[in-house]
Structure 1
């Protein structure tokens, strides 16, 4: 919620809520149930056809298939839509007078509308079930076998299933959508969630929710004429009353003088709000309005952002603007460093900097999606929006020329190197030097006390049947299945190439894991360093890597919660051993699901120490070049000064993936759900973390 929504508004909401709660804090009683018009018995079904279509002078159209409504009530229920109907809701709607003037106040399937010829059935078992035209399941009350006797729509607009004693088994008042009606209570733990727009009823994408606290803050109104309160798709909380038509009588947030510009979507995504007027940042070369005559719907980028090459990214700088919500990602840096951090982060859409009076030190916010900015006279904010350089723009043409110059320069360099390599003397010199270096490296490993078994390349060829059965591929090579002469099953990792990074990774792995032993670390049995061959021999782990168990949607590769909990504890134990119990601290630097193996009992073992770093116990931190896997890198890498806590950060990301059953980054998902950490932050702010937890009961 906007920081500009000051406490007076909350005090106002609390006061009005307490007043109306005194009038309406009760559940419905049997006296409120009545038969004749608004009751349905078991084994009754309705088909979504035979509509009543109402036209109004203002051009609006409402289409209804009424199911229950009566003379005593202002409410009806049935299939409902407005506009040109292609899909329908099963809804409770308000009706008034002799002519129906419907306004939906509750719906069962707002996220999954049905089509014509859909069916609603109150089964003989007491379950109210909604199915689409093709018979596919859409929604139900899940009350089968709970002694339901009938269904009733009360005079308060509450759809109720009750038993033979007139006791409530299920009621729509317990499942609010985006509307409260007189007599309905929004209890602690329930929320009003806005729809996406006036014609899109879904709450998946709606940006606003209104939740009540455990202290009893409720929001309901009982009055005559009928009234209702609605949280709109634009974030405004309004009260409507019937005065020959539905009329807005109050905008609660505006009552405190809160201006239009303070709403997060006042001018849509990327829009700039100034005294209630909306505009797009920059020029038409950068942004254009989504709909020219409706500037409040926001702006779209002319050239959409891509992550293929950061050289095509630039910034559009905005001064004297502020943002509705600011959460510092990095503290104590200047604006240029903030922008550089955004360029390195694919998901970052803008660099927003809040600075002190000296304009040197400040806080940096790197949002993954951008809502409305607001003009302000305060000179404490600066914003830079990341933009893609359009190829046909002046800047894009300059960029293309720069690329061609770089390409020509590289071609010239390659040609020069090629000519140099054809000199026979140089080739011989390089070969001799390389041979000497390899011999020194091979002899070095033999002189380290406690080294594991050294194998010849021929021995490992025989053990793996000439490397025929590939188990998988890692960062620097492939892993093959094999058996030693004594029958021990092994996994042989062949490091590809003979470059500097391969040698460094090989030595780091042998030095690190060859000297340590722990139940939650994969055991290194031996190694091979012969000529250009670099191979590592591990114990065989039968269930493979963790990623195939937590990313898969198959029931066969699903993990129970008890197994997931044990895996998390095993990883933590392994990291604790590396960080605390070894002679030197060992920082793994590449903790991710692909580097966690599971044995036959689903015990987790950390593997792949090719990027690891050893530091002495008297060192509190170490300076090193950035290494690891994007998505698991801790923010400390921005300064290149790291501690063992970078492993803890990566472990935290892995824990989230284990709990949510998904990857940290999934490009196939909608933009707002691609990055798990950003989605986690959003759900935490909304108090809906349980939405992310994988439903194990379904597996």
Structure 2
């Protein structure tokens, strides 16, 4: 019995409000009406009439039978509801499944062509996977129609999302209009069979999110780490002469296109609990195209929608249901024929990344005053902006205004037309930290007022000059002017750290957001190539990677702008001598796991494998919650030929270099694994691996730790003294064994970062590793000859174990990492 089936069995006494008790099959001479339902044999799914929320309408749908919160997965008559389910009938007529309303009018049908001889044995069956199947003949006959070919807003495990090459049709998920109307909404999820990726579209035309191309080898989408990485689902792509499609297998989850415009993966674990959200894309609701509709403003990280000043919701009832796509309308309608009511403009910041996507955004060869006047005189012009000496008009619709520019975008001022009768109601609000400015322009004023206003503007202009602005956008990144970053960093005076790539300085932008500005050194690339490489880095986003939000490329000045990490770098917590209680063992373990996940994403989840080449505590930054974020990824390629010089001159980096670096061999992702292993020792010990004392004696911690590990000594004696022995012996032992595996001499014997992640999460047991040459070099001969730990072999008891577990092969790590049963 499947997991969900067993859970449903335990909860058999909870009955859906639409349940009447029924079999799984509707025969040719039977019908469905009122409270009658079909139920799949294992009790997972039920089909019948349902009413969403407080709506007066009824629909034919399929839902999870035993989940306390009614969860609809498919709807038949999305656009044609009924009002009386007891007077309406679902039955098979002429080989088709048909819904007749109160007037016995056909309002929905499967619309399959059929012959009269083929319809005698027609039956409808609700299968255990939630698929509703119409068949001619016996139960072994292939379906002539199935709901899996006509999904609504839910993608169930086992169903297809794809393209039928024979009929030139797609299986597309389409959102509900709102929580009480399952009709066709504005957002859809579909497959692009040419590039093998998933797309979310607005009104089936404007694409605003993509999963990235599917990788046939790693079974992952290029731009979405969540899809395929989780333990819940197993995605697969099929392409043959008849069709191409994605499918996934799971018994406890579902994927939907929500009314918010996001796709969501939901997990169900208990009958008494609601569905748990596993992940959602796009991550930010304000990234959904048309989220707040015409003249709406997306104003916080939760995607809250508001109307612009002197606008109000078009349909308040829809806003109350969480559907904002209807947008806003002016409180006072513009009358172009009434010259006494000539409109005026209000101004607001918007997010510039959407401007290039506006459907009515034609560039006009006008100066600033002409741009304003032409929009004022054009009855169809709703708004204008003047950016980079180019005039842009928005005719008929204005959408995607976004106040979140301080986090990830480059703002500009846009001017929205309103009735002059409302101008006295508009209040000036200036909140630089929140990124919101709403002002007003007066039609005609006295000359003295013009002088006063001009003087005020001059003062404000001078004030703003001391604060950095964002000058342009390139893809998802902000292209800063060098002078702006000079101002933000107080001429690069507040230094946070430095290394071979360059120094890092703290900066404060005009919206009061804090950033870290890296001033690169020895970059030989031209501006065009530099911008291209930086744009690629900007596309890489993961919770354990520092986000690149902008750059500067002006001649020899090459700078990168990152999110600021308030807790600094990992080395600042590990290696200073002051008492630091902020890094408990639990946090250190989570830091090790987070770094592993970040490296796994770089190595296996990106479109192209990214080798960091310089993993060390200085390049691990900690946010406010001590979540680790890898910095400087992608810079190895950016630095080009100068990178080898950087590695040999960077202080401390030599202690993390894999043997292949020193030998001049080709470097793979396993070089990062080696560096990660060396860093694990330092996470445990709280000191550098290599240390020289005042008497010039040299100690190498991995060798000292080996003596304790191989002799079954006091493991907690190895941890940082500041932890006061407060740590899990099992976890410390696991981390140390993993560290030895990661620094194996042969890269083929090192684990992948996915194996490291699984081991830290408890899905793999870690056996005793062979002793690396670097560790053995600092061991006494007595330690090696004790037959406790032998080079090239696993853990032994009094004698050398030369069995299969000690063999060294291409995938040697599999002999020492075993599945945790």
Q: TM-score, normalised by structure 1?
A: 0.43
Structure with greater contact order relative to length (CA < 8 Å, sep ≥ 6): 1
Q: TM-score, normalised by structure 2?
A: 0.37
